[in-house]
Structure 1
Amino acid sequence: MGENKHRDQKSLSVEKSNNKPIFSFYFSSSSPCSFTAIIILLIFFTYFLYSFSFITFLHPYSPSRISNSLLVPVMRLGSGQQPDEKTELKHIVFGIAASSSLWKRRSQYVKTWWKPNGEMKGFVWLDKPVNDTVSFPSWAFPEIKISSDTSSFKYRYRSGHRSAIRITRIVSETVRLLNGTESERHVRWIVMGDDDTVFFHENLLRVLRKYDHKQFYYIGAPSESHLQNLHQFSYGMAYGGGGFAISYPLAKALEKIQDRCIERYSDLYGSDDRIHACMAEIGVPLTREPGFHQFDVYGNLLGLLSVHPQVPLVSVHHLDVVEPIFPRTNRVDAVKRLMIPAKLDSASLLQQSICYDTARQWTMSISWGYTVHITRTYMPARMMEVPTRTFNDWHKRHDFTNVAFNTRPVTYTDCQRPRVFYLSRALNDSSSGTTISEYLRHNEWNPKCEWGIQDPSDINRIFVYKKPNPDRWNKAPRRDCCRLLPTTKKGTMVINVTACENDEIVAYSDK
């Protein structure tokens, strides 16, 4: 038994003549363990050779040998790299859709918000030249450009206008105009609007700074008209009159496909729904910002502007359709008046505050920089933040289920008809850092009231004190609070508007 075991053992000898190891394996069919060990040894040896060859293959591509052009850069703040500067006006190019027949009149709207002498960048796109350099000096307005001929494009919407094709191509034509120029290096956003659209540029910047301009963004808002959104257009479409912003990388992507895309949608009505159709093909949804206002309404904007959403006011449109936003003035001068408080505290423009005069049983609503409303009796905050029906819907049906938001009647009883005070002037008190705005009562029909509550018509003038709050939109949105201040001057009310305390609420109390 011992001899058999000796004969079956593996032997290893070294041939000394050439120093090579010679493996000689002797085994018999009666030794299954030896066979298994051999298989394991072969597998290990094969794995070793594979691993060695793989490491040798990777060696030339080690990080120390890879060209810098192949490495993905990693930005580490504090290592000499700087983040992008925040978005400023120099990073925005405006594309303003206009027509030669209306430009002389509507240019006055553009003049109210445009910053001349190169502070803003943009182009007015006309259908044909306007020869009036006196009325439209180049330094005071965006540069005027003439749109390319679009007669080769099909347009099949029966009651529409072919100008929709020209206008929708403003994005592409602007990109081509910028392509390869020094200005292009600074462009982050293209902002579209009509010649009767008024922008509040500081609030526009506040909105755009929330988004990464290097990504694909299509930012705007749908219409106020539910029927417009539901039937003719879409809730997913940014309405061009209210204005919309397209990040420059997305604008460049759109430029590459837009003409072919336009051909596919010859049956659409307007320019903005063609933009929307192309965005759908690219796969970019609408990012909604309620501060862009199409204002597909008729009549008086008082009910809408006095209860503005708790977002920055970015734009207003259809100023030629609605009544002047201030009474007893023309449309352009009314916009100029609104621009006065916009320069003092743009972040707070039209933002609502609600408070109560418990001694006289009045409810006050301040739309800063625009109006003050005084209503007899207690009106809860949840009611006061709903727009009143001072306007008509776009289809003139007197049906307020046709609008895409809640509304309430101007008054439920004659006694509750509010007294409205409109902004008269506004200034900044540099010594205290406070804005002082004055509001004068608008004389209109005031029905008799048998409630025995003092008539707010006894007040003729209201002064509102408020410190500017440019950082309000860097925090969670919240209405400001307002408080009555004592005054002995007859017919005058003084109100202070300020940020609410953490535990402060707006509720009526007769204590």
Structure 2
Amino acid sequence: MKMPLKDPEKLSISSKDPIMKNYVSLSLPKLMLCFIILTSLPCAFYSLKLLFSSNSSNQEPLIQSIVRQSDPQKALPQPGSSPNPETIEKTSLKHIVFGIGASSNTWKHRKEYIKYWWRPNEMRGHVWIDKPIIKNNTDDHDDAHLLPPIKISSDTSKFKYSNPKGTRDAIRISRIVSETLRMGMEDVRWFVMGDDDTVIVADNLVRVLSKYDHNQFYYIGSTSESHMQNIDFSYGMAYGGGGFAISYPLAKALSKMQDKCLHRYPNLYGSDQRIHACLSELGVPLTREPGFHQCDLYVNIFGLLAAHPITPLVSLHHLDMVGPIFPKMDRVESLKRLKVSSNLDSAALIQQSFCYDVSRNWTVSVSWGYAVQILRGIIPAREMEIPVRTFLDWNGVGGEISFSFNTRPVSMNPCQKPSLYFVSNSLYNPKTNQTASEYVRFRVPNKKCRWKTADPARISRVEVYKKPDPTMWDRAPRRNCCRILPTKKKRSLVIDVGVCRDGETVEEQ
């Protein structure tokens, strides 16, 4: 049987209900407590405000006071200050000091590589060598004025060296940056290391270093092209032959601790390993710039140069190990040929662009200032930008997994062999502000192709026109576009290369 509901107005709290009894007994104290808290909050807030104001009047915020009490020593400064970029002078060659590691045994012929890129009146630096060079009286002339001054490295006999495959020269070369720093040169922003068989494109080096704040700790370079070399040594190390740059503040920090650091690594192989180990102790990682090329490669590096990554070419190493970059020329002659193009437009040197001759079903690839390739068929851009494996890695292996970058195989199909054209001359026309470069066909024996596509071998020369673009790398990286121009010249192909127009893609013609 259901009980009838009581009138809400007549409901009363039963004294026999313990829950309701407790509720009533606690209600008045709780209300009083809430009243006290609410009336106290403004006072507490006002007290805190007075405390903060009082602390500010003592010219020291409360947080700073706590920090100083917990650590009485001054906090260590940052690696460098960052001044307003609008008021600072732009980095140039005068702010860079070079340290070139060399040997008296190889100096006679390797100095020819240094002559290729050294600018006596614009550059600062030294060649650091193991012992005095004995001059040969049969030398036709003295070329010291074309080269950096020579310094003898200091004695490193106190350092242990236990690597069974290397030489003690690794220790003295690793100390070149520190020894150069102690010479006290003024207005130095960067120390750049390299070997005597390394060539450097100086203007591109400046372009790369200008991107970074030289007042900070920077260690800039690149790794090896060989996957196994990187596994054996490190993917986080700048390979010394390819060259690397160390900012001035980092060089100062390195010089203070390097000798103690070197004692901890007697088992390491090379100088670059030792520098990497010490910089790791300083907590500074490698900043990768792929334009530094160690060239841990054999045979022919054409494939790498013809499809260079979209970044300035900064250096090439191991020139004694790879073949000449131009066929039927020696190594030094090849460099002189490339320098003609570099002098006209160093920013664009060997930068790849490609376009299509749709009427003849051709793909044309231009590595500006170096080479042109014409291939049968319309080959996608994502394939053309991958280097062809014309080379082997440092261990003499040529498979795709041997390299630390994507590669594609050399085609065995005679119809897919490119017609090659190497630069023979480059000129600048000030009236049109254009460079004109000529590329002449390099003839190689090839089997007959049975495709009905027009034969690229009918073209004997290629003309490429391009406006110099010194600010190319001040913009976001982008490959230049090329356009095939109409011509009445027989057996010739005429191409325009330049900044891509609005909406232009590689497919358009």
* CA drift at 1:491: 1.4
Q: Deviations over 1:185-244 (max 9, x none)?
A: x100000000011000111011000000000000000000011101x1111000000000
**After superposition, where does 1:263-274 map in structure 2 within 5 Å?**
263-274=263-274
Q: Which residue of the partner structure matches residue 241 of structure 1?
A: 241
Q: Which residue of the partner structure matches residue 355 of structure 1?
A: 355
Give, in whole Å, the separation in 1 of the partners of 2:82 and 2:169.
Answer: 46
Which 5+ residue runs of structure 2 have no aligned equivalent?
Answer: 1-36, 61-76
Q: Any idea what SS the aligned residue of 2:465 has?
A: strand
The answer to whether 1:130 aligns with 2:136 is no
Residues 99 and 125 in structure 2, CA contact (< 8 A), matched pair in contact too:
yes
Q: Deviations over 1:230-289 (max 9, x none)?
A: 1x1111000000000000110111011111111101111000011100010000000000
The answer to whether 1:251 aligns with 2:257 is no
Q: Any idea what SS the aligned residue of 1:424 has?
A: strand
Q: Structure 1 pair 452/260, CA: closer, same or farther in 2 (3 Å)? A: same
Give, in whole Å, the separation in 1 of the partners of 2:484 and 2:45.
Answer: 88
**After superposition, where does 1:12-411 map in structure 2 within 5 Å?**
58=59, 83-117=87-121, 119-132=122-135, 137-178=143-184, 183-184=185-186, 186-230=187-231, 232-411=232-411
Residues 463 and 495 in structure 1, CA contact (< 8 A), matched pair in contact too:
yes
Give, in whole Å, the separation in 1 of the partners of 2:180 and 2:257.
Answer: 14
Q: Any idea what SS the aligned residue of 2:374 has?
A: strand
* CA drift at 1:399: 2.3
Q: Deviations over 1:122-168 (max 9, x none)?
A: 00000011143975544321110000111121111111111111111
Residues 101 and 128 in structure 2, CA contact (< 8 A), matched pair in contact too:
yes
Of the structure 1 ranges 482-491 and 433-442, higher mean CA displacement relative to structure 2 is found in 482-491
Give, in whole Å, the separation in 2 of the partners of 1:503 and 1:325.
Answer: 35
Q: Structure 1 pair 385/58, CA: closer, same or farther in 2 (3 Å)? A: closer
RMSD over equivalenced CA pairs, Å: 2.8
Residues 411 and 418 in structure 1, CA contact (< 8 A), matched pair in contact too:
no
Q: Deviations over 1:346-366 (max 9, x none)?
A: 111111111111121111000
Of the structure 1 ranges 486-495 and 423-432, higher mean CA displacement relative to structure 2 is found in 486-495
Q: Deviations over 1:381-416 (max 9, x none)?
A: 111111001111110123221101111122252101
Q: Structure 1 pair 320/50, CA: closer, same or farther in 2 (3 Å)? A: closer
Give, in whole Å, the separation in 2 of the partners of 1:486 and 1:235.
Answer: 47
* CA drift at 1:76: 9.4
Give, in whole Å, the separation in 1 of the partners of 2:165 and 2:498.
Answer: 51
Residues 292 and 315 in structure 1, CA contact (< 8 A), matched pair in contact too:
yes
Q: Structure 1 pair 47/265, CA: closer, same or farther in 2 (3 Å)? A: closer
* CA drift at 1:497: 0.8
Give, in whole Å, the separation in 2 of the partners of 1:234 and 1:47.
Answer: 56
Aligned partner of 2:399: which letter? D
Please report the TM-score for the alignment, with normalisation by the length of structure 1: 0.83
Aligned partner of 1:276: which letter? H
Please report the TM-score for the alignment, with normalisation by the length of structure 2: 0.83
Give, in whole Å, the separation in 1 of the partners of 2:119 and 2:496.
Answer: 32
Aligned partner of 1:142: which letter? P
The answer to whether 1:435 aligns with 2:430 is no
Give, in whole Å, the separation in 1 of the partners of 2:55 and 2:483.
Answer: 77
Residues 437 and 464 in structure 1, CA contact (< 8 A), matched pair in contact too:
yes
**How many residues align structurally?**
450
Give, in whole Å, the separation in 2 of the partners of 1:46 and 1:427.
Answer: 80
Q: Which residue of the partner structure matches residue 463 of structure 2?
A: 463
Q: Structure 1 pair 253/44, CA: closer, same or farther in 2 (3 Å)? A: closer
Q: Structure 1 pair 297/52, CA: closer, same or farther in 2 (3 Å)? A: closer
Aligned partner of 1:259: which letter? D
* CA drift at 1:486: 1.8
Q: Any idea what SS the aligned residue of 2:335 has?
A: helix
Of the structure 1 ranges 98-107 and 169-178, higher mean CA displacement relative to structure 2 is found in 169-178
Give, in whole Å, the separation in 2 of the partners of 1:395 and 1:168.
Answer: 25
Which 5+ residue runs of structure 1 have no aligned equivalent?
Answer: 1-35, 60-71
Aligned partner of 1:115: which letter? R
Residues 422 and 440 in structure 1, CA contact (< 8 A), matched pair in contact too:
yes
Q: Structure 1 pair 58/491, CA: closer, same or farther in 2 (3 Å)? A: closer
Residues 389 and 398 in structure 2, CA contact (< 8 A), matched pair in contact too:
no
Give, in whole Å, the separation in 2 of the partners of 1:218 and 1:189.
Answer: 10
Give, in whole Å, the separation in 1 of the partners of 2:190 and 2:83.
Answer: 26
Report % sequence identity.
Answer: 56
Residues 82 and 213 in structure 2, CA contact (< 8 A), matched pair in contact too:
no
Give, in whole Å, the separation in 2 of the partners of 1:46 and 1:367.
Answer: 74
Q: Which residue of the partner structure matches residue 481 of structure 2?
A: 481
